[in-house]
């Protein structure tokens, strides 16, 4: 059986993607979509990795799961042990929803459970962070933290990033969020490098944008804690404009964001790496379905999720 504790959670970033890589605050929350894994031992040495529905032929990151699994067996001291690793992805790939971190967390937890290796949440997250470094060189650590702890968090990368600072943000009631998938796959490594390039050319210009986004994230904490949807929507709209200024939006993201706002959303923005991938919108509870329907009728895949009123974190 596949147990609950092998889940790696998918995530949305409400505020602060990209600037978080440079040490500024961001808010992220888990979504109802996750990746699970199951590991079983076998006599024959070495491991097999099975991911149903993973079309490895068509993308630049096709060998990533194998490299991630290899790093995890190495770090857990079980390299060469005979095992079969099955992954059950319930999260679109290369969509900005944190699939790579969720995959790492799921495999770490399943291997640790199969080989009776006790790991704390911090240890799971730190190892998933190392896996994220394979995925893109300079992860902030926000994706692996949410994938591990499954709670809405205010996050800030620490020096060296392994021991990031984060605190759980509690909403007074569930906050409904619509997720729209552009259908254009985009690797975070690419958009992170776009931002790195423009920032390197003109650090002070881009630091000024990061600082504004930092302010939005910090203001967002209060809005989330009050459950103030209108304020959250305003802050999301501004964050999206600033992400566009960072050159990580795309025509599809702009179309979806415009459509969501036209259909009554209080706010909409790209989420995660951008350049394609996913966007999120927030609306009054009685408008949420109308916004999602308009997006679906325009041909986009949508998911409804909510930022939950937080529960106790796992150790
Ligand atoms: C990706 O979900 C978020 C980025 O800020 C990258 C990172 O934080 O590692 C774009």
Q: How many angstroms separate the CA atoms of 14 and 216, rounded?
A: 10
Higher pLDDT, 278 or 159: 278
Centre a 10 Å sphere on the Cβ of residue 101 and count the other Cβ atoms it contains.
31
Q: Measure CA 190 to chain center.
A: 16
Which atom of ligand 1 is closest in space to residue 18's alpha carbon? Answer: 5
Provide the sign of the torsion angle of the four alpha carbons 121, 122, 126, 129, taken in this order.
positive
- Residues 6 or more apart whose CB falls under 8 angstroms from that of 311 comprise 151
In the chain, CATH 3.30.230.10 sits at 4-168
- CATH class of domain segment(s) 175-307: alpha beta
Task: Report the pocket of ligand 1 as residue ranges, CB < 6 Å.
Answer: 13, 17-18, 20-21, 96, 98, 139-140, 142-143, 188, 192, 272-273
Q: Which of 143, 207, 214, 286 is catalytic?
A: 143
DSSP result, the chain: ---GGG-EEEEEEEE-TTGGGGT--EEEEEEEEEEEEEEEE-SSSSEEEE-TT--GGG-TTTTHHHHHHHHHHHHTT-TT--EEEEEEE-S-TTSSS-HHHHHHHHHHHHHHHHTT----HHHHHHHHHHHHHHHSSS--SHHHHHHHH-S-EEEEPPTTSTT-EEEE---SS-EEEEEEE-S----HHHHHHHHHHHHHH-HHHHHHHHHHHHHHHHHHHHHHHHT-HHHHHHHHHHHHHHHHHTT---HHHHHHHHHHHHTT-SEEEEETT-SSSEEEEE--HHHHHHHHHHHHHTT-EEEEEEEPPP-PPP-
- Name the residue of 8, 11, 18, 279 whose CB sits within 8 Å of the most ligand 1 atoms, as the mutation to test its pocket: 18
Whether 39 contacts 110, CB under 8 Å: yes
Report the nearest-CA residue for atom 9 of ligand 1: 139
CA atoms within 13 A on the CB side of 38: 8
Q: Residue holding tokens 């005979």?
A: 82
Q: Where in the chain is the domain with CATH 3.30.70.890?
A: 175-307
Q: Nearest Cα to 33, choosing from 95, 119, 123?
A: 95
Quote the distance between the C-alpha of residue 198 and its chain's center: 23
Tell me, in angstroms, the distance from the centre of ligand 1 to residue 234's CA. Answer: 22
CATH number of 4-168: 3.30.230.10
Residue among 107, 102, 48, 41 at smallest CA distance from 76: 107
Query: 91, 99 in Cβ contact below 8 A?
Result: yes
Mean pLDDT calculated for residue range 54-81:
82
Percent of the chain, pLDDT > 90? 83
Distance 8 CA to ligand 1 centre (A): 16
Judged on CB neighbours under 10 Å (0-12, 13-18, 19+), 252 is: buried
**Which residue from 8, 11, 12, 13 has its CB within 8 A of the most atoms of ligand 1, so it is best to mutate?**
13
- 222 or 95, which is more confident? 222
Token pair belonging to 154: 């205010």
Mean model confidence pLDDT for the chain:
92
pLDDT tens digit sequence for 283-302: 999 999 999 999 999 999 99
Residue 55: is its pLDDT beyond 60? no
Which pLDDT score is estimated for 93?
82
Of the residues 273, 277, 279, which should be mutated to test ligand 1's pocket, given the most ligand atoms within 8 Å of the CB?
Answer: 273
Give the C-alpha distances (Å, rounded to integers) separating 300 from 7, 55, 134, 256, 306. 26, 20, 30, 8, 19
- Atom index in ligand 1 nearest the CA of residue 272 equals 2
Per-residue pLDDT tens for 123-173?
A: 999 999 999 999 888 899 999 999 999 999 999 998 755 668 999 999 999
pLDDT at residue 160, rounded to an integer:
59
Q: Taking residues 256-264, what's their average pLDDT?
A: 98
The predicted model scores a pTM of: 0.94
Distance (Å) from CA 137 to ligand 1 centroid: 11
Measured from the Cα of 248, ligand 1's closest atom is 10
55 belongs to the catalytic site:
no
Q: What atom in ligand 1 is closest to the CA of residue 16? A: 5
pLDDT band at 2 (very low <50, low <70, confident <90, very high): very low
Rounded to an integer, the average pLDDT of 11-40 is: 96
Strands 83-89 and 47-50: parallel
Q: Does residue 313 surpass a pLDDT of 90?
A: no
What is the model's pLDDT at position 96? Answer: 87
Mean per-residue pLDDT for 230-243? Answer: 98
């Amino acid at each position: 059986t596949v147990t609950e504790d092998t889940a790696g959670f998918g995530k949305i970033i409400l505020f602060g993607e990209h600037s978080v890589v440079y040490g500024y605050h961001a808010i992220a929350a888990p979504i109802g979509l996750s990746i699970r894994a199951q590991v079983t031992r076998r006599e024959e040495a070495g491991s097999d990795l099975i991911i149903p529905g993973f079309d490895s032929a068509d993308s630049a990151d096709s060998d990533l799961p194998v490299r991630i699994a290899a790093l995890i067996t190495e770090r857990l001291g079980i390299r060469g042990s005979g095992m079969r690793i099955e992954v059950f992805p319930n999260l679109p790939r290369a969509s900005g929803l944190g699939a790579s971190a969720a995959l790492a967390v799921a495999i770490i937890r399943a291997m640790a459970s199969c080989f009776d290796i006790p790991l704390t949440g911090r240890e799971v997250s730190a190892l998933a962070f190392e896996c994220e470094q394979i995925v893109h060189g300079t992860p902030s650590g926000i994706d692996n933290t949410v994938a591990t702890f499954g709670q809405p968090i205010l996050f800030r990368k620490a020096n060296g990033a392994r021991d990031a600072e984060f605190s759980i943000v509690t909403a007074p009631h569930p906050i409904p969020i619509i997720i729209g998938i552009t259908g254009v796959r985009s690797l975070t490594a690419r958009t992170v490098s776009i931002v790195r390039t423009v920032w390197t050319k003109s650090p002070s210009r881009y630091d000024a944008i990061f600082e504004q986004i930092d302010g939005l994230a910090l203001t967002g904490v209060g809005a989330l804690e009050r459950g103030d949807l209108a304020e959250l929507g305003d802050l999301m709209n501004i964050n999206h404009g600033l992400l566009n200024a960072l050159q990580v939006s795309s025509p599809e993201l702009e179309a979806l964001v415009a459509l969501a706002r036209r259909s009554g959303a209080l706010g909409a923005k790209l989420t995660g790496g951008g350049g394609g991938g996913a966007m999120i919108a927030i609306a009054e509870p009685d408008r949420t379905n109308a916004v999602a329907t308009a997006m679906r009728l325009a041909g986009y895949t949508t998911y409804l999720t909510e930022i939950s009123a937080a529960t106790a974190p796992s150790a």
